[in-house]
Structure 1
Amino acid sequence: MIPACFSQPNTPSSTSQVPQNLITCIYQTQLCNSPTYLTLTWSKTFFSHSLTIHASDSFSFTVSLNPSTFSFFRTRPGSKSISLTHSKYKRIKLYWDFTRADFTHNSAEAESCFYIAISCNARLEFFLGDLLDDLTRRSGLVPTHKLGKPALLSRREHVFGHRNYISRAQFLGSKHEIGIECSEGTLRLKVDGITSLVVKRLAWKFRGNEKIFVGGVEFEFYWDVFNWVNNEGGSNGNGHGVFVFQVGDGGVWPEMVGPEKKLMRKSLSMSTASTTVPSIASLSPSPSCSSVLQWAEESSDGGRSSCSSSTRSCGSNGGFSLLLYAWKRD
């Protein structure tokens, strides 16, 4: 048995600030005729629920998703005009409506009955959700071209639990439930309730990769539970496991912003590991995480590094990556 699988994590002590769920998705889109990576971070704690929309070197904006207990102040559809940082002559407009949004149990991400949209020069360039008719009726915007779903390049989720960690993610257009269980020195991976992989003797196999199938599509699955194994005494490591699901050439790793960056900063500040910890400006918050992500990148591009300082790219030619951080609760 690995006691680290049941030990207390070095996570923020205030339960009101520890997220119940934290999801970051990165989409490839166009803003004012310029190719853009758009990052959406959904965050839910016991007392807050928000969505941060971020485009590197362009803009960042946070929408509160908390419904009010007073009917007069209930969440209403909203909009906001923003000047792009790199060009004061270019402005975009954000539109959102979460008045009737449905959320999966304990998930920060809206499932249906919502929209988030961006226009530039009265041209609709980005739309996410299922209420396009509501948007066009309120805003007067009319799509000048067939508006398809934005290209989801990668997804990063922080899941919290004791032994079991669940993620309900969309893989190349299909939704699946991913379950990871750590118990008695054994790691079990389940996809839609069916066991896809069993890894025993984690004390020796705390890092590895295997090919698995999700919805008939072959994925490369990487795991790194070094922090769990190394955290046996509760004094080392950050107490989280790292898991990567990668298809094709991989996706694009979104940079950490807003509540996700705060979570990692708190975790790093509480870590007493003697090794030098990478900067929060990078994606890798620990030696364990750094190794598994670098491993995935090198496997996807034949060892060629193409990562920028703010966004780690492993190629986006039809590729997709899901990155899970599994944090242990008390």
Structure 2
Amino acid sequence: MGKIRTCCFSEKAIKVSDNSCVGASNQDSQALQNRVVCVYKTKLSTQNQVFITVTWCNNIDRQGLSVTVANNPSSTLKVDTNSGYYGTKKGKQTVESNSSKIDFCWDLTLAKYDKGPEPVDDYYVAVVLDSELGLFIGDVKKFTTCCIPVARFSLVSRREHYSGNALYSTKVKFEGKGKIYDIVVKCSGQGEGLKYPVLSVSVDKRVVIHVEKLHWNFRGRQEIYLGGLMIDVLWDIHGLLCNPESGVAVFMFQTKSVCSWWLLPEKEEQQKDVYSFVIYGSTSTHVRAHREIGR
């Protein structure tokens, strides 16, 4: 384990157990995932780099999908999948932005979901930038590129938003073809028989972080190793502790290069992209829209 850093008190206030296991008890209930935001970096054949943001949401106000190219509101696709109109779940939309042509193609008519707003099977979303496939997610068998040149794209950031009880369970893959890890973040309060609130983070049922006395150690950082990768884990639950009704807890998992400290400047560009995975948790509950697609 790497050295643990906290913003308030000494490191002795935090314990790490490599051999303990964590699991949700029967009394625990997971928070509901209501929003997922993914940021992809696309490198076109012109060597230009473009960031594409894909947002899936499922809350009381809206259920659907939005795709934004280069953070430009004029190059945004918005799809309301909660509508009964068939055309919103499948279609194509073309926009002109900064002398570029952007084609959005999507098919969510048979999309299957697990527990969150993001589909897991039988769907696709594609973004074509000036006749070059800049992004494709979903089932490749459902979409024909018709010899369209394919750009290089990769996921560089993912954010998941939860509401409800402070038990956040999810899956994450830190590398393109790497292993999928089960991550559980749990904030236990004084109302659960504890004298002080406690934070625990587990990966594949293995406790990697255990923080006691959260009213003192509400922010911190620790390095962990997963499958040869060094991961920075940062947490900030000050907002949730100070304002349980509307505050937000933030947990970030960010990859870093183990050997970056000795690389020469000219070789730094050969390092892999830093990947950030962020969990936003709130204890406030919201009624989710009932999902009908793919059920």
TM-score (norm 1): 0.63
- Unpaired segments ≥5 residues, structure 1: 1-18, 250-299, 302-315
Give the SS at the match of 1:39.
Answer: strand
Cα deviation code 1:11-35 (max 9, x no counterpart): xxxxxxxx85111110001468431
1:114 aligns with 2:117: no
CA-CA distance at 1:215 after TM superposition: 4.1
Q: Which residue number corresponds to residue 276 of structure 2? A: 321
Partner Cα distance (1:156, 1:115) in 2: 20
Partner Cα distance (1:118, 1:31) in 2: 12
Give the SS at the match of 2:233.
Answer: strand
1:239 aligns with 2:255: no
Give the SS at the match of 2:128.
Answer: strand
User: Given residue 248 of structure 2, which amino acid in structure 1 is its aligned partner?
Assistant: H
The alignment of Structure 1 onto Structure 2 pairs a total of residues equal to 233
Partner Cα distance (2:87, 2:253) in 1: 38
1:211 aligns with 2:223: yes
CA-CA distance at 1:46 after TM superposition: 4.4
CA-CA distance at 1:171 after TM superposition: 1.8
Identify which of 180, 185, 192 aligns with 2:185: 180
Q: Which residue number corresponds to residue 23 of structure 2? A: none
Alpha-carbon contact 2:79-2:89 (below 8 Å) kept: no
User: Given residue 83 of structure 1, which amino acid in structure 2 is its aligned partner?
Assistant: E
1:102 aligns with 2:112: yes
User: Given residue 132 of structure 2, which amino acid in structure 1 is its aligned partner?
Assistant: R
User: Given residue 247 of structure 1, which amino acid in structure 2 is its aligned partner?
Assistant: T
Alpha-carbon contact 1:91-1:120 (below 8 Å) kept: yes
Partner Cα distance (1:244, 1:319) in 2: 12
TM-score (norm 2): 0.70
Higher strand share goes to which structure? 2
Q: Which residue number corresponds to residue 260 of structure 1? A: none
Partner Cα distance (1:100, 1:75) in 2: 13
- Unpaired segments ≥5 residues, structure 2: 1-31, 190-196, 262-270, 286-295
User: Given residue 75 of structure 2, which amino acid in structure 1 is its aligned partner?
Assistant: F
Q: Could you list the runs of 4 or more consecutive aligned residues of structure 1 that deviate by over 6 angstroms after TM superposition?
A: none
Alpha-carbon contact 1:159-1:167 (below 8 Å) kept: no
Q: Which residue number corresponds to residue 273 of structure 1? A: none
Partner Cα distance (1:65, 1:123) in 2: 26
Judge which range, 28-37 or 114-123, deviates more.
28-37
User: Given residue 165 of structure 2, which amino acid in structure 1 is its aligned partner?
Assistant: H
Q: Which residue number corresponds to residue 44 of structure 1? A: 58
Q: Which residue number corresponds to residue 159 of structure 1? A: 162
Cα deviation code 1:112-139 (max 9, x no counterpart): 2211112234332321112x34321xxx
* Structure 1 residues 31 and 62, CA gap change in structure 2 (3 angstroms): farther
Cα deviation code 1:194-235 (max 9, x no counterpart): 222110111111111111233442211111111133237x6x
1:23 aligns with 2:36: yes
CA-CA distance at 1:167 after TM superposition: 2.5
Q: Which residue number corresponds to residue 171 of structure 1? A: 174
Higher helix share goes to which structure? 1
